[in-house]
Structure 1
Amino acid sequence: MYLARNFWIAAGLAAGLLASSAQAAPPPVKGEILYDSYGVPHIYGKDEPSVFYGFGYATASNHGDVVVKLYGQARGRAAEYWGPAEIESDKWVIANDIYERAKAWYAQEPASFRANLDAFAAGMNAYFKAHPDKLDPSVRQVFPISGVDVMAHAHRLMNYVYVAPQARTMGGNADAGSNAWAVMPKKSASGNTLLLANPHLPWAPSQLTYFEADLNGPGIKMYGATQVGLPVLRFMFNDRMGFTNTVNGILGATNYELKLADGGYVYDGKVLPFTTRTTSLKVRQPDGSLKTETLELRSSVHGPVFTRADGKTVALRVAGLDRPGGVRQYWDMGKAKSFAEYQTIMKRLQVPSFNIVYGDKEGHVQYLHNGILPKHADGNVAKWGGLVAGDTSSTLWTEVHPYEDLPKVIDPPSGYVQNTNDPPWVATYPQVIHAKDYPAYVANPGPLSLRAQQSSHLMADPPKITFDDFVARKLTSHVLMTDRVLDELLAAAAQSTDPEVTEAAAVLKAWDRTVNADAKGALLFEAWARKFAGPNYISDANYRVRWDPEKPIDTPTGLKDPAASVAMLKAAAGEAIASYGALDRPFGDVSRFALGKVDLPGNGGFGNLGVFHVMTWSPLKDGKRTPVHGETWMSMVEFSTPIKAQGLMSYGNSTQPGSPHRSDQLEQLSKETFRTLWTTRAEVEKHVESRVAY
């Protein structure tokens, strides 16, 4: 089909799109989308805007309902579109000036990149114009989409979901996770660089859902994934290089607790008045009418001010609000033709957060603890990550660290870099960077999670790694915690005459110490580990040897109190029987990969048990549990000639209702197999499901 496009003539303004009439000749073809049999769009454009246009069109076709709602939220008009449930979202966007700042950021971009953003929006608009019935009626009112909307969504996601999440300011939590590896030729059996991209985020459709795509044009070859609605790939590779991200929680935002007095706030011994402004938002009522609500907004010298549910008044200060180029930086990173060029791009420091791991065909690898990090005179992560005293100018930061100050590892003697959201100090092993050489607020010195330790051993232990071994190690379901405590637990249990303890110990002894689908004993061990190491499996208080920075990937270990540990086993056995009906219920009978009509045995476990193949499971319901978080996009690449690339999008590549690509990769996830990623036009042509020309 041909879709009318005039964004390259009129700066991509969505409202200017016109449909081709039946009598008119079709416009010149600027690009084509080939959707493969997994719903992955392979986009071939004749210039940059046409690549962005195709990506926008494909985004709407695969994830339109989710993305268009996100754009409505980024405008701060979600309550107007969808009712009172969106009021708090709108207040957050409006109070932080997200959409207004996005307008300014959009204007500051070079004209060429504004055209790209406009083209992405135009592609979404074109899909809606061609297929209005394919989108939920409730989101249609958000159209037309503009380049500013695209920028606003990216700004909200990066700065106000990752760096300064609403929950953290208002007194809640915000967590995420991922794995990343890059292996140098000297540690690769083939002599080629290897790269793993492996983010872990929620499975429920949201702004954190991943979308796999293949972008091609003059000087453009990018295969990978990104969060839905972003116009660029955040996880990508091509024939020469690639990069991936993990969440690092860098402290790019500060929450200041204010002392109120006389209608203002105390600052350096004086009472200062709040800066105030009045605005409004519209709220859709059940009968479809709109009600206007007035917002009285306050700000201090720190930033916008909020009142929390606990009564505390907090001001939020976010670093990087003067740096509009994060989206463009990702795009340019993917076009880099050398490691030197890539590093020059990274030095822009426009991307506000994330560990970024890089590898290339020439043999270079890099780990970077990336982010826009405020400078402080003193203090550690605990101080600057909590509520900071806002009554003194001594805590008000005004500068940020340059690229040169950030922890990084380049081409280490070990031959690899890794990260699993852990602090940067064991990005490779033996260590080459140390916490003592950086300000204490950069990252905690430790402890290192068991997943991070598992990752380090998977990379550090073998002298050489083949591509097949690389793939197999990604799927590691071995529970590292068992290496530290299980033998001692079984020895202690052998001294007990309690039949329940004896039976439970027998199950754990026979267990293969994995969280594979057929593992018998994994569920029982989980129940015991929750008692031993806490509900999130992170406490080392019950280990005989606690985590030791001198042995960062081999501690904690042992049982501090064997008798108490055995008592925990008895209690865990009772819970397992009550929950699962048996001590040795197979892991996959309870843990299910279930989406729509698909319901298959699951695998993968909680990362804090030391499982690298991560799956965080829901509470038990009707005897089953399903993923709430964990393995999403996975890609493993060897930069050979030609490259080897395997991967999987665990929950499928579309969230649109009725799409066959919502759950079509669950079987491979259940069987622990991967797809070959089709990266060449010739390969793609063999697997085309549909085509769109534009």
Structure 2
Amino acid sequence: MRLRNRLRAVVIGGLALLSGATALPATATAATGRTDRPSSSGLSAVIRYTEYGIPHITAKDYAGLGFGNGWAQAADQACVLADGFVTLRGERSRWFGPDGAPDGSLSSAGTNLSSDLFFRSVNEARTVERLLAQPAPAGPSRQAKELIHGWAAGYNAWLRTHRINDPACRGAAWVRPVTAIDVARLGYSVVTLGGQGRLVDQITGARPPGASAVRPAASADPGAAARAFFARDGADLGSNAVAFSGTVTANRRGLLLGNPHYPWHGGRRFWQSQLTIPGELNVAGGSLLGSPTVEVGYNDRVAWSHTVSTGVPVNLYELKAAPGDPRSYLVDGRPERMTERRVTLPVRGKDGHLTKVTRSLWWSRYGPVVSGLDRGLPLPWTKNSVYVVNDPNAAQLRFLDSELGLAKARDTEGILRALHRAQGTPWVNTIAADAEGHSLYTQSQVLPRITDELAGRCSTALGRTTYPAAGLAVLDGSRSDCLPGRDADALQPGIFGPSAMPTLRDAPYAENSNDSPWLANADRPLTGYPRIFGDTATPRSLRTRGALEDVSAMAGRGGLTVADLQRQQFTDRAPAGALAAEDTARACAKLPGGRATGSDGKAVDVAAACAVIARWDRTVNTGSKGALLFGRFWRHLGDPKWRVPFSASSPLTTPRSLDTGTSRFSRALADAVSELRGAGIALDAPLGEHQFVVRHGKRIPVPGGAHALGIWNVISANWTPAQGGYSEVETGSSYIQAVGFNGGSCPTARTLLTYSQSSNPRSAHYSDQTELFSRGRMVTARFCEKDILASPQLKVERVTER
């Protein structure tokens, strides 16, 4: 009894850590070296670490849970987080000079100066403070605010009590305490990533025209330019997810496989944890760094994942300049003056001295002025007209409440209710499965309320091209009747309400790989939504085609388990290879003399490549021979030409039959062979010898391949043949979860954080899960109390504000 009473002192404030268990092992208690009970004042939490450094954080309230979360994230990622807060404060130019580039985690800014101008303008306008002050449900709830407050306190407490040993920021003056507003600003940057955050250089680069300004010629194909700019092709953000209903599973309960493709470096990394307030909240999964909630996760009854959607989260307005004043514009014939935001920044010169730089950013009633949009879509500011961007996500801070609602949901209908109640999901779809056997796909996101009718009535000449082609509406801003209006069930003016969201319930499978909602299930197409949500009856990406082939076959076999989900994750089948490798090898063998002409005009002996591609197993496993060669060939080929065109009636089997009779085909083959030989790489080299990451001087082979090849397990890496091939992964499979249910309170889950919990090379968890990823293995999740306590690596920390 004496031992039992001593163990119960571990409980925070007398609160049981989890239902059904009130004690921690004596060995774990002794290992912490801390007192058994924290201070009775201030915030506190208990953090229990299991294998691979995964923390299970328990607190008595939301502020305490945020505190433990901020503490634990700082322990793993202090430098990455601190760098992000420098960005959010608009201080990159001060510390790192104006010309360097941010890591892209919080915006698309091309330089530190552009980033600073944007974020400082947001801060000086007190945008986030105003959004926080909005009462719920239009603004964040009390619980969300307490999480934010607690997270900031936990992060600061860790900095105050620990000396950073990560060489990335050890001793750096820019590592500073944060405020709750800083944490809220991080959340704001996440929700605006698809809108204003994607247009930072265009917002900060907008300049009023001189009297002689001339409008440049329009792009030859503005529709294609708009598609390129808002592409969701897995280049930096993408995902797969599939939910299976109980009709095709072994135990008649739902299954979910989530596979987000996010950057492996910087502030858009995921971080894994379990968050618990006994009797109130118990959720596990992956969080974006700096977030006090779980974004992709599960509880004991339901699991969910997100995929980047095709919905275009902004629209543009073309404004008519007031006569003689390009800084004013007309609405219904009446002039309105633009708001000038003057921003002054300290900027570090090459000599180390600080000077001040002042720039102006310009705002209209609709949003900021944009100018010089790249990728072939010019939006000039002339003496006659100007373009501005409307981003409804820049007027909301409800994302945390959306995620909190998902964490508390008890089934897929609860997932829908949470999304509909908060209306704060910015640029993603949601896919879910539950213990009762239900499945769900929904594109419930914040989108400008651009109906097809409104676009037809109010589109400018540019918009009449970009809206049908890419869903980017360009409306006439000189007419107030071209405002989006408000749905009766929308929390926010100018956005679609929940009833407009494309949703698929209880299909045998519901899948998305960053294409539109149309074929979430190939047998139950979704149609009837406005073009801004996405398209229909158009070619799907090879990744979508491959995914639908795989999951429909899995559903057809039935009897599915979590093990089947794990196998799907690491099958590494290359749909491009299945479609084109045989044609490629056959055409290669028929080339006269086994030679092809490369881009440099030189003839290349490609005969050996024919046999390598013919023998390739059509996968991108680390041991696959021929995957490297075919992958480089496919990249050089670019957009392939097919003999059988796309048919909307056969979207999973068309287009097909590679056209190998073009000069582009033989040139791509020659270029790939020359490239590998020039780098001293054998044509049949195993993929893992040349696609790897280096951790502690050791090469770790990385499976997977490019989005363009149709790979489920996307890996995008830098091609640096002088260093051995794909020497570093940029983005791809990140936090992976395969989740099922067994009717009890302990879900069956396998998880993997591909790049591991910490980016600090001195951490024990810098590469351990990366090693698992290399071997196609996952972590058996410890969700229930008995499993946490049974961990052979259990470590307990009691953390307090004091």
What range describes the TM-score normalised by the shorter chain of this pair?
A: 0.7 to 0.9
Q: Residue 565 of structure 2 aligns to a residue in which SS?
A: helix
Name the CA distance, whole Å, in 2 between partners of 1:338 and 1:209.
28
Q: Tell me which residue corresponds to 1:385.
A: 472
Name the CA distance, whole Å, in 1 between partners of 2:141 and 2:591.
73
Q: Residue 475 of structure 1 aligns to a residue in which SS?
A: helix
Q: Tell me which residue corresponds to 1:51.
A: 65
Q: Residue 720 of structure 2 aligns to a residue in which SS?
A: coil
Q: Relative to structure 2, which stretch is displaced further, 628-637 or 376-385?
A: 376-385
Name the CA distance, whole Å, in 1 between partners of 2:320 and 2:121.
20
Q: Residue 38 of structure 1 aligns to a residue in which SS?
A: helix
Name the CA distance, whole Å, in 1 between partners of 2:145 and 2:667.
64
Distance 1:139 1:52, change over 3 A: farther
Q: Tell me which residue corresponds to 2:520.
A: 427
Q: CA deviation at 1:657?
A: 4.5
Letter matched to residue 428 of structure 1: N
Post-superposition CA distance 1:449-508 (Å, at most 9, x none): 111111111111132123222211111211111222233333434444523454322111
- Confirm or deny that 1:35 pairs with 2:98: no
Q: Tell me which residue corresponds to 1:76.
A: 90
Q: CA deviation at 1:250?
A: 2.1
Distance 1:383 1:575, change over 3 A: closer
Q: Residue 153 of structure 1 aligns to a residue in which SS?
A: helix
Q: Tell me which residue corresponds to 2:284.
A: 223
Q: Residue 385 of structure 1 aligns to a residue in which SS?
A: coil
Equivalent residues in 2 for 1:212-251 (5 A)?
212-218=272-278, 219-251=280-312
Name the CA distance, whole Å, in 2 between partners of 1:517 and 1:329.
38
Post-superposition CA distance 1:521-578 (Å, at most 9, x none): 112212332344x1xxxx24x1011332221121110033546545653454333333
CA contact (8 A) 2:196 2:389 kept: no
Name the CA distance, whole Å, in 1 between partners of 2:697 and 2:714.
23
Equivalent residues in 2 for 1:529-544 (5 A)?
529-532=634-637, 534=638, 539-540=639-640, 542-544=641-643
Distance 1:282 1:369, change over 3 A: same
Q: Tell me which residue corresponds to 2:217.
A: none
Post-superposition CA distance 1:183-239 (Å, at most 9, x none): 1111112322111121111212x2211101111122211110011001111011111
Q: Tell me which residue corresponds to 1:663.
A: 767
Q: Residue 401 of structure 1 aligns to a residue in which SS?
A: coil
Q: Residue 665 of structure 1 aligns to a residue in which SS?
A: helix
Distance 1:599 1:291, change over 3 A: same
Distance 1:24 1:508, change over 3 A: closer
Equivalent of 2:380, from 307, 312, 334? Answer: 312
CA contact (8 A) 2:429 2:442 kept: yes
Q: CA deviation at 1:666?
A: 2.1
CA contact (8 A) 1:163 1:250 kept: no
Name the CA distance, whole Å, in 2 between partners of 1:503 and 1:167.
48
Q: Tell me which residue corresponds to 1:629.
A: 731
Q: Tell me which residue corresponds to 2:367.
A: 303
Name the CA distance, whole Å, in 2 between partners of 1:73 and 1:563.
48
Letter matched to residue 613 of structure 1: N
CA contact (8 A) 1:333 1:345 kept: yes
Letter matched to residue 253 of structure 2: N
- Confirm or deny that 1:195 pairs with 2:209: no
Q: What root-mean-square deviation, in Å, do the aligned CA atoms of Structure 1 and Structure 2 show? A: 3.1
Equivalent of 1:157, from 187, 190, 204? Answer: 190
CA contact (8 A) 2:583 2:660 kept: no
Name the CA distance, whole Å, in 2 between partners of 1:507 and 1:614.
23
Equivalent residues in 2 for 1:539-618 (5 A)?
539-540=639-640, 542-562=641-661, 564=663, 565=665, 568-618=668-718
Distance 1:167 1:101, change over 3 A: closer
Distance 1:113 1:139, change over 3 A: farther
Name the CA distance, whole Å, in 1 between partners of 2:636 and 2:269.
32
Q: Tell me which residue corresponds to 1:9.
A: none
Q: Tell me which residue corresponds to 2:530.
A: 439
Structure 2: segments with no counterpart, 5+ residues: 1-8, 14-33, 101-111, 135-139, 206-227, 231-235, 382-386, 457-466, 486-493, 595-604
Q: CA deviation at 1:683?
A: 2.7
CA contact (8 A) 1:638 1:645 kept: yes
Q: CA deviation at 1:82?
A: 4.7
Name the CA distance, whole Å, in 2 between partners of 1:223 and 1:512.
37
Identity, in percent, stands at 26
CA contact (8 A) 1:520 1:584 kept: yes
Letter matched to residue 201 of structure 1: Y
Q: Residue 563 of structure 2 aligns to a residue in which SS?
A: helix
Letter matched to residue 581 of structure 1: I
Letter matched to residue 627 of structure 2: A
Aligned length: 666
Distance 1:357 1:26, change over 3 A: closer
Q: Residue 619 of structure 1 aligns to a residue in which SS?
A: strand
Structure 1: segments with no counterpart, 5+ residues: 7-21
Name the CA distance, whole Å, in 1 between partners of 2:81 and 2:194.
15
Q: Tell me which residue corresponds to 2:540.
A: 448
Name the CA distance, whole Å, in 1 between partners of 2:358 and 2:668.
55
CA contact (8 A) 2:455 2:473 kept: no
Distance 1:688 1:169, change over 3 A: farther
Post-superposition CA distance 1:78-102 (Å, at most 9, x none): 4445543432212112334587121
Letter matched to residue 158 of structure 2: Y
- Confirm or deny that 1:119 pairs with 2:121: no
CA contact (8 A) 1:593 1:601 kept: yes
Name the CA distance, whole Å, in 2 between partners of 1:134 and 1:495.
59
Name the CA distance, whole Å, in 2 between partners of 1:689 and 1:222.
19
Q: Relative to structure 2, which stretch is displaced further, 630-639 or 489-498?
A: 489-498
Equivalent residues in 2 for 1:118-197 (5 A)?
118-134=149-165, 136=169, 141=174, 143-160=176-193, 164-166=197-199, 169=202, 173=229, 175-197=236-258
Q: Tell me which residue corresponds to 1:18.
A: none
Name the CA distance, whole Å, in 2 between partners of 1:134 and 1:601.
27
- Confirm or deny that 1:102 pairs with 2:128: yes
Q: Relative to structure 2, which stretch is displaced further, 583-592 or 284-293?
A: 284-293
CA contact (8 A) 1:157 1:207 kept: no
CA contact (8 A) 1:75 1:99 kept: no
Q: Residue 548 of structure 1 aligns to a residue in which SS?
A: coil
